[in-house]
């Protein structure tokens, strides 16, 4: 033991006694000369050291904890490129198995050994693939009918994740958004149907809205769309953005119809690196069957030693996340996922209840669809307070917590809220510590004699932004 400590001391002297550690880290040019590995490692590590502990980050949806075996498996596969099926054919097989499992989890009607789907770097790529497929199917149908195909549109609520804005801008598709309001906090189905016409490529409901944690009424939308399509002769499909809910609903609410049990749901996307419990980045998109995946989306190359056909916006991509997803499916099974997500939901409901009982706050929703929720100041309290939720965010950051404050989407952008995302790794003790820190911070803020800069900004009608975490 003494020998080990001596070696560590010598290593520390080599690192922290070096001239390199006295110099600023490179920021503009690649250094001319080499730096010993242990020193380069320390420089990079030190830059991230002051940041919050990942498990205290209640802003992100992304998985921040995996067990030792899952982590080990990913580390061992870090150099494997999934796209090279010639060298790593079994990775492609495991990816196909994952697609099968996700598709069956969502009640696919597709028969055959291999279901129709694709892997993505994240749910953003998965969303785009679902959107592109809907656009190409619509375009092909319009061509066959001899009708113009230059003005496609897509319908969803204003509570969309930014990927849909990217998709519409990049593919020149008109985005038609239904405002969410205090009285209509999810997709207003009646208004969504009103926005549809012969140029609508799809409607995109969300299972696990980033802004609120709520689910759109997908079954209700399907019924309304059936009536609309029957009346008009259109074939407007549904793509479900289930980035969060895709790995929650099958385990916590398996009887709820939101997936391929509904007629007009033709594709679904999700994040494997959210409630799929895999480190980022990983996304999955599944189509109802192969007829809904246009042939134009498949590209083949032969310069890797075989003819490889892939669907995706990216080419090279890590295999480690795919192996980790397959590991989770084997290791956890349905029971394991159910237990983990049930715990997350219980902790979220506990925090939801405690925060909702605080005199200064009110919850946005009475019940939880997913293990995340938002709250705001009570309107009457808000008018008199010398502080805002942005100040509470800063106070909690001092304790290591990342709890985002942000303004809501268009039409209710004057509403400031805070959000907690509960994931694997959040315990009841941690929840009690969080509630205690929120209580203490509020007590301290209530003693302020004068308004904070954020409060002054809001009173003057100016937009105030904190550290925004919406992904």
Report pLDDT digits (tens) over 198-239.
999 999 999 999 999 999 999 999 999 999 999 999 999 999
Q: Which residue has the tokens 């509960």?
A: 422
- d(CA 263, CA 318) in angstroms, rounded, equals 34
Per-residue pLDDT, 32: 82
pLDDT of residue 64: 87
On whether the CB atoms of residues 419 and 404 are closer than 8 A, the answer is yes
Number of other residues whose CB lies within 10 A of the CB of residue 394: 18
Maximal C-alpha separation, the chain: 83
pLDDT for res 51: 61
**Residue in the structure block whose two tokens are 């140029």:** 199
Strand 200-203's sheet: what is its strand order?
117-120, 283-287, 265-271, 238-241, 200-203, 153-157, 174-178
pLDDT value for 309? 54
Q: Distance (Å, rounded) from C-alpha 236 to C-alpha 221?
A: 12
353 burial level (CB within 10 Å; 0-12, 13-18, 19+) = exposed
How far apart, in Å, are the Cα atoms of 261 and each of 264, 267, 288, 307? 9, 12, 10, 35
CA-to-CA distance for 155 and 144, rounded, in angstroms? 23
Domain assignments of the chain as residue spans, ordered by start: 1-46, 75-329, 341-459
Domain 75-329: which CATH number of 3.10.20.600, 3.40.50.720, 3.40.640.10, 3.10.20.30: 3.40.640.10
DSSP conformation letters of 215-284 = B--HHHHHHHHHHHHHHH-----EEEE-TTGGGTHHHH-TT---STTSTTEEEEEEETTTTT---S--EE
Alpha-carbon gap, residue 315 to 301, rounded angstroms:
11
Q: Does the pTM exceed 0.95?
A: no
pLDDT of residue 9: 53
Residues with Cβ < 8 Å from 103, sequence gap 6 or more? 110, 115, 116, 117, 286
Residues of the chain with pLDDT under 70: 1-13, 49-52, 87, 299-309, 464-471
Nearest CA to 330 out of 73, 41, 18 is that of: 73
Please say whether the beta carbons of 37 and 14 come within 8 A: no
Which CATH number applies to 341-459? Answer: 3.90.1150.160
Q: What is the pLDDT of residue 467?
A: 54
Residue 56 has a pLDDT of 84
Q: At what angle do helices 123-144 and 162-170 cross, to 10 degrees?
A: 40
Give the tens place of pLDDT for each residue, 25-69: 888 888 888 888 888 888 888 777 656 677 888 888 899 889 999
Nearest to 319 by CA among 78, 1, 137, 63: 78
- What angle, 0 to 180 degrees and rounded to 10, lies between the N-to-C axes of helices 320-356 and 68-76? 140
Rounded Cα–Cα distance for residues 193 and 156 (Å)? 10
Cα–Cα distances in Å, from 12 out to 2, 33, 170, 267?
15, 22, 50, 54
Q: What's residue 173's pLDDT? A: 98
The two tokens of residue 418 are 């805070």
Helix (H, G, I), strand (E, B) or coil at 318: strand
Helix %, strand %, coil % of the chain (to 5): 45, 15, 45
Alpha carbon distance 392, 377 (integer Å): 11
**CA separation for the pair 345, 323 (Å, rounded):** 27
Distance, in Å, from the CA atom of 371 to the CA atom of 422, rounded to the nearest integer, reads 5
Structure tokens at 22: 């006295």
């Amino acid at each position: 033991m003494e020998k080990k400590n001596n070696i560590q001391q010598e290593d520390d002297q080599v690192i922290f006694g070096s001239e390199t550690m006295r110099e600023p880290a490179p920021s503009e040019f690649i250094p001319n000369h080499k730096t010993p590995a242990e020193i380069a490692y320390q420089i990079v590590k030190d830059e991230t050291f002051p940041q919050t502990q990942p498990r205290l980050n209640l802003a992100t949806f992304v998985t921040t904890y995996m067990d030792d075996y899952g982590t080990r498996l990913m580390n061992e596969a870090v150099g494997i490129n999934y796209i090279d099926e010639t060298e790593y054919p079994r990775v492609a097989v495991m990816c196909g198995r994952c697609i099968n499992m996700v598709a069956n989890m969502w009640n696919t009607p597709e028969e055959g050994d291999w279901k129709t789907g694709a892997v993505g770097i994240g749910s953003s790529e998965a969303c785009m693939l679902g959107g592109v497929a809907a656009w190409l199917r619509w375009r092909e149908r319009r061509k066959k009918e001899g009708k113009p195909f230059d003005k496609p549109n897509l319908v969803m609520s204003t509570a969309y994740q930014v990927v849909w804005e990217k998709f519409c801008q990049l593919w020149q598709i008109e985005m038609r958004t239904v405002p969410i309001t205090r009285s209509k906090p999810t997709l207003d189905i009646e208004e969504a149907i009103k926005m549809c016409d012969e140029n609508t490529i799809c409607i995109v409901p969300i299972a696990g809205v980033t802004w609120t944690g709520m689910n759109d009424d997908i079954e209700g939308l399907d019924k309304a769309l059936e009536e609309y399509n029957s009346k008009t002769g259109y074939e407007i499909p549904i793509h479900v953005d289930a980035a969060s809910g895709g790995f929650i609903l099958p385990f916590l609410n398996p009887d709820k119809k939101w997936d391929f049990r509904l007629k007009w749901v033709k594709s679904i996307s999700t994040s494997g690196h959210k409630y799929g419990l895999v480190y980022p980045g990983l996304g999955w998109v599944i189509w109802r069957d192969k007829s809904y995946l246009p042939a134009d989306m498949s590209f083949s190359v032969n310069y890797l030693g075989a003819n490889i056909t892939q669907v995706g916006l990216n080419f090279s991509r890590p295999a480690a996340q795919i192996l980790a997803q397959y590991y989770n499916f084997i290791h956890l099974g349905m029971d394991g996922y159910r237990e983990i997500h049930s715990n997350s939901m219980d902790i979220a409901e506990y925090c939801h209840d405690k925060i909702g009982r605080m005199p200064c706050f009110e919850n946005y929703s009475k019940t939880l669809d997913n293990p995340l929720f938002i709250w705001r100041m009570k309107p009457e309290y808000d008018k008199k307070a010398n502080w805002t939720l942005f100040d509470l965010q800063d106070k909690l950051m001092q304790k290591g917590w990342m709890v985002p404050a942000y303004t809501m989407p268009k039409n209710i952008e004057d509403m400031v809220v805070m959000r907690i995302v509960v994931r694997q790794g959040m315990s009841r003790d941690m929840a009690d510590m969080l509630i205690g820190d929120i209580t203490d911070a509020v007590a301290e803020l209530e003693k302020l004699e004068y308004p904070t800069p954020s409060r002054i900004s809001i009173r003057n009608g100016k937009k105030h932004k904190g550290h925004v975490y919406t992904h």
